[in-house]
Amino acid sequence: MSAQHPRSSATVLLLIFVAGLGVGAIATSYVLLGTINNLQDDIANVQNQVSQISGDQTVYNQNITLYQNSTALSEIYEKTRDSIVLISGTTSNGTVQGSGFIYNLTGTMVIVTNNHVVHGASGISVTFSDGNGYAATVKGTDPYADLAALSVPNASTTEFKPLTTVSSSTLKVGNPVVAIGNPYGLIGSMTTGVISALGRTINEEEYTGGFAVANIIQTSAPINPGNSGGPLLNYESEVIGITTAIVADSQGLGFAVPSNTIQKEIFGLVNFGTYDGHSYLGVKGEDMTYDTAQTIHSSVTYGWKIDEIVSGGPAAKAGLQVNDVITAINGTRIRNGDEMSSYLEEKTIPEQNVSLTIVRADQTLQVSLTLGKRPPPPS
């Protein structure tokens, strides 16, 4: 008995070992199965996420295509082409041509265009998109904004298909735009681009006597002679500006008066023949730069430096001095003359009190000033 005991024990141990292996294999298989199931769940989740991302990307691409393909742009053109007119006239230098668009002023249909299109012109006519032409009368002009309003009393009411004009306050650099007009007499030509900058100023010495046309939109939409006075449109076929000027020999550099200026002035132009709400400081000057700051020993390198003060003007009455640097108006930072002129044009009116922040040598001062009204433009 004692001799057989070790052999029996070995057998029992062997059986226990084999059973342990079986149990271990089962447990291992169970763990592996759970791991595989978890991996399959993770793979399924990743696949769902990829599918969602792919779906979102498809929608995004469709939106981009909607705004860029020729069909969308052709729809804008078809919606607006009958609202844009050709303006012709005669000056001492020959014939002139430009563009304009139909505007509904509380039931009164007028043509909006640029002042420089009709300035000094006689025998002015308006030709609608159907080819019908009529004599036109200038109702009002404002050289300081390069705007004019015309009436066409003999035209049939069916000719007038006004465009919708919306606020330009929400415009941003990069917004896509469309310009439609009559460059070089090529009626109904359309170009596209983006808003390149906001708050520019342009100079039209012949019409403004040296004052800047302020708060201007800069656009990359190609603009050529004859486009002047035509609408600048957003992709909803709404007017956000009126094309007004180009820089000679430039590539893709055009300008437009913003629609806010049109809406602010149109009533006065039509009913009173003018608009006289342009604020006036009574100063001349230049943009501040680092080099200028070193020359005059100023502590600031931005702003607008006063070079000349008009006797008896608002700045003279407020005690401003030559070499004062205007750096803010009513707390709004002013980096250069564009920003100063655009702020005054858009945010102020004559007789309004404003607070100027100026730097005089190394002192920062607050000066209260009552704005004046610009003198009449040259005739």
The tokens for 160 are: 């007038």
The tokens for 87 are: 């303006």
Which of the four pLDDT bands, split at 50, 70 and 90, describes residue 48?
low
* Helix residue ranges, H only, 70-229: 70-80, 115-118, 205-208
Flag whether pLDDT at 60 surpasses 50.
no
pLDDT digits (tens, 9 = 90+) for 145-157: 999 999 999 999 9
Active site residues: 116, 146, 228
Which of the four pLDDT bands, split at 50, 70 and 90, describes residue 72?
confident
Which of the four pLDDT bands, split at 50, 70 and 90, describes residue 18?
very low
- Work out the average pLDDT over 3-16: 41
The C-alpha atoms of residue 107 and residue 333 are separated, in whole angstroms, by 41
pLDDT digits (tens, 9 = 90+) for 304-324: 999 999 999 999 999 999 999
CATH architecture of the domain formed by 176-259:
Beta Barrel (2.40)
Share of the chain above pLDDT 70, in %: 80
**CB distance 310 to 283 below 8 Å:** yes
From the list 275, 161, 267, 178, the residue with the least C-alpha distance to 227 is 178
Q: Domain residues of the chain, as ranges?
A: 5-68, 78-159, 176-259, 279-373
Per-residue confidence (pLDDT) for residue 333, from 0 to 100: 97
- Work out the average pLDDT over 293-302: 91
Ranking 46-50, 140-144, 166-170, 362-366 by mean pLDDT, the lowest is 46-50
Q: What do you get for the CA distance between the two ends of the chain, in Å?
A: 139
CATH architecture of the domain formed by 279-373:
Roll (2.30)
- Work out the average pLDDT over 156-162: 96
Per-residue confidence (pLDDT) for residue 34, from 0 to 100: 54
Share of the chain above pLDDT 90, in %: 69
pLDDT digits (tens, 9 = 90+) for 87-113: 999 998 899 999 999 999 999 999 999
Flag whether pLDDT at 85 surpasses 70.
yes
Per-residue confidence (pLDDT) for residue 346, from 0 to 100: 92
**CB distance 118 to 86 below 8 Å:** no
Residue 210 neighbours by CB distance under 10 Å: 9
Greatest mean pLDDT among 22-31, 152-161, 222-231, 249-258: 152-161
Contacts of 73 (CB under 8 A, 6+ apart): 178, 190, 192
Per-residue confidence (pLDDT) for residue 184, from 0 to 100: 84
Same CATH fold assignment for domains 176-259 and 279-373: no
Which run of H or of E encompasses 284? strand 283-287
**CB distance 112 to 261 below 8 Å:** no
Q: What is the pTM of this model?
A: 0.78
Instruction: Name the superfamily (CATH) of residues 78-159.
Output: Trypsin-like serine proteases (2.40.10.10)
Per-residue confidence (pLDDT) for residue 362, from 0 to 100: 84
The C-alpha atoms of residue 218 and residue 198 are separated, in whole angstroms, by 6
